[in-house]
Structure 1
Amino acid sequence: MTKNFRMINATEELVAFCDLAQANGWLALDTEFVRTRTLYAELGLVQARTGAEIVLIDPLNGVDLSALWQLLRSDVITVLHAAGEDLEIFQRNNAAPKYLFDTQIANAFITDGSQIGYAGLVEQMLDVSLDKSQSRTDWLQRPLSPAQLEYAAADVEYLAELYPTLRAKTVASGMEPLVLAECQEQVAKRARETVAELAWRDIGGVNLLDGTGRAILRELAQWRLELAREKNIALPFVARDHILTDIARKKPSNRHELSQIEELHPKSLRLYGEAILQCVERGAAVPESEHPEEIPRYDQDSQYKRFFKAAKALLKEAGEAANIPVPLMGSRKQINEVYVWQHFTRESTKAKLYSPDLYNGWRGELVATSMAELVAANR
């Protein structure tokens, strides 16, 4: 573990560090955050390295992070590993990296396409075993111990050492354009917010509901998401998915009937009972012609099975032809997105959604036409 880092406790110190990173053209970056009962991650610490300079930035001590957010929007290369949740934090601060290099993505493209964690990659490439004993730290607590700070600093110390090697390998293998394209696709995806009125589509068990039940679930899911965003409450702490589905199926019309919903917490009943019943009432009043489309359980359907098998073969063939690791071509989830998009999504709904990954970006360039033909052949 490194002790060669310094804490940034003043805005002018952060500005100076960002100037150095700007001059170097890159920085390695990581964040520590807490997300337990909140919808949005609460930032507890920012770690950064450029050149030999390693800094820890405490967002809770009054340092203005504007210079860092501005840096990410500039032409500087931002190096992260498995950037997903970090990107959500940056997006909420209007600081989506203009140029992202994700070491997990890069390693996947130059190996067999598998996803490896940061500690595993450091051990594999640098022969360094990282101490994981501080992984359960509450990063919002103060003061942080020396061991916790050293643990955090190591996340960027070795990330900066991985970067030049991985970057050179992506260039040498001809994979650099695809790696950078995939990185930017991840940035773009993290910028997308679920359309509240379509949140019902992501809830398991929707296939068990009739048309009225889907209309009620639509109201419930929209209400829950909007409340969660307004109050910054994690969705399960409003009501879990299966509880919403159960309410939509049983259609309670009064507080007593609602109280009979299994696992609905008494606190949720007290706080949200009236709002939930209003959702049920609104959904029940939706005319049949305006019911949300049916999304049946399709994974046991013979037509779907034929499509999935053919889609997997198509992606394998396209990946091998382009010398791209097959696992990166498309996951089961991404294949399923195409099937649901084509078979169970109305045109009016499509207008409010992003089209499937396999129809967009570098994947779309390789397989979109063939995938559309495959869907047509399996109608």
Structure 2
Amino acid sequence: MTVYLHEGDLPDGLDLGPEVAIDSETMGLRFRRDPLCVVQLSSGNGDAHVVRMSRPDYDCPNLKRLLADPKVLKLFHFGRFDIGMFDLHLGVETRPVYCTKIASKLARTYTDRHGLKDVARELAGVDMSKAQQSSDWGSPVLSQAQLDYAASDVLYLHAIKAKLDLMLEREGRAELARACFDFLPTRSRLDLAGWDEIDIFAHA
């Protein structure tokens, strides 16, 4: 595994293929309080690219182009948050997308454990460490432990997706999953607009 650190943006000419695993690190989990600090990506080849964002201007045309590219499927785990952060700070709508957490909830109904650590252990045979999850991602210098943690969040999403796709097909829920993925950017926009805790589809 090689982890490439980039300052501010992805390098010109980098081709990560038709399916790119993406995650982000922030200073917290509140959209308008906590800034976007790091975006990590992997093509599924065992390497990861970690972009330390340039704040507050977020001038990253290559990353923005990739997020909006209709020919590149973006793989997330709990993409709802990342997509919202990209919309808020980068001004781009991320499409098309695939969320392994949604896929897990639709396919792995025999469990209520759908966090990435649990899904990766079962479907990819990987025991992930979450020790750096709450570290200072706004630091001007990222530690090797932080870089390795950021990379781990994207390195296994392609393998997890492959297993979940088989399960979704087996259970007859692949089409339902695709409809959920298509709706996900809209769900993120609802979060940003103030409907993050309200289910507008509920009767009450």
- With the length of structure 1 as denominator, give the TM-score of the two structures: 0.47
3-state secondary structure, aligned to 2:24: strand
* Cross-structure match for 1:95: 92
Q: Is the 8 A contact 1:33 1:140 kept in 2?
A: yes
CA distance in 1, matches of 2:24, 2:156: 14
1:120 to 2:118 alignment: yes
Which structure shows the higher strand fraction? 2
Partner of 1:86: 82
State the Cα deviation string for residues 161-182 of structure 1 (Å, max 9, x = none).
2122223433444322211111
1:315-368 CA distance string (max 9 Å, x none): xxxxxxxxxxxxxxxxxx7598313xxxxxxxxxxxxxxxxxxxxxxxxxxxxx
| CA 1:191–1:115: 2 relative to 1, 3 Å | farther
Residue number in structure 1 paired with 2:150? 152
SS of 2:48's equivalent in the other structure is strand
Matching of residues 117-196 of structure 1 within 5 Å: 117-192=115-190, 193-194=192-193
1:15 aligns to 2:12 (yes or no)? yes
Between the two proteins, the alignment pairs up a number of residues equal to: 197
Q: Which residue of 2 aligns with 1:55?
A: 49
SS of the equivalent of 1:56 reads strand
Deviation at 1:90, TM superposition (A): 1.5
The answer on whether the counterparts of 1:45 and 1:56 sit within 8 Å (CA) in structure 2 is yes
Deviations 1:45-104 (A, max 9, x none): 111001414211111389842222222222211100011211111212232222111001
| SS of 1:88 mapped into structure 2 | helix
Q: How much is the aligned-residue C-alpha RMSD, in angstroms?
A: 2.8
Q: Which has the higher helix share?
A: 1
TM superposition shift of 1:183: 1.7
Do the aligned residues in 2 keep the contact of 1:119 with 1:130 (CA within 8 Å)? yes
Counterparts of 1:89 and 1:31 in 2: how far apart (Å)? 9
1:204-251 CA distances to partner (integer Å, 9 max, x unpaired)?
A: xxxxxxxxxxxxxxxxxxxxxxxxxxxxxxxxxxxxxxxxxxxxxxxx
Structure 2 CA distance for partners of 1:38 and 1:167, relative to 1, 3 Å: closer
Cα pair distance change 1:139/1:176, threshold 3 Å? same
Alpha-carbon distance between aligned partners in 1 of 2:116 and 2:2, rounded to the nearest angstrom? 20
8 Å CA contact 2:113–2:119 kept in 1: the answer is no
Instruction: Give the % identical residues.
Output: 21
Aligned to 2:65: 70
**1:115 to partner: Cα distance:** 5.6
Match of 1:4 in 2: 2
Structure 1, unaligned stretches of length 5 or more? 203-332, 340-379
Task: Give the letter aligned to residue 28 of structure 2.
Answer: R
- Report what 1:110 is aligned to: 107
Contact 1:55 1:153 survives alignment (8 Å): yes
The structure that has the greater radius of gyration is 1
Question: Which structure ranks higher in relative contact order (CA pairs < 8 Å, sequence separation ≥ 6)?
Answer: 2
In the alignment, is the contact (CA less than 8 A) between 2:69 and 2:95 conserved in 1? yes
Quick one: structure 1 residues 15 and 170, their matched pair in 2 at CA, closer, same or farther if it must change by over 3 Å? farther
Q: TM-score, normalised by structure 2?
A: 0.83
Question: Which consecutive residues of structure 2, in runs of 5 or more, have no partner in the other structure?
Answer: none
Cα distance in 2 between the residues matched to 1:112 and 1:126: 18
Specify the code of the residue in structure 1 equivalent to 2:99.
Answer: D
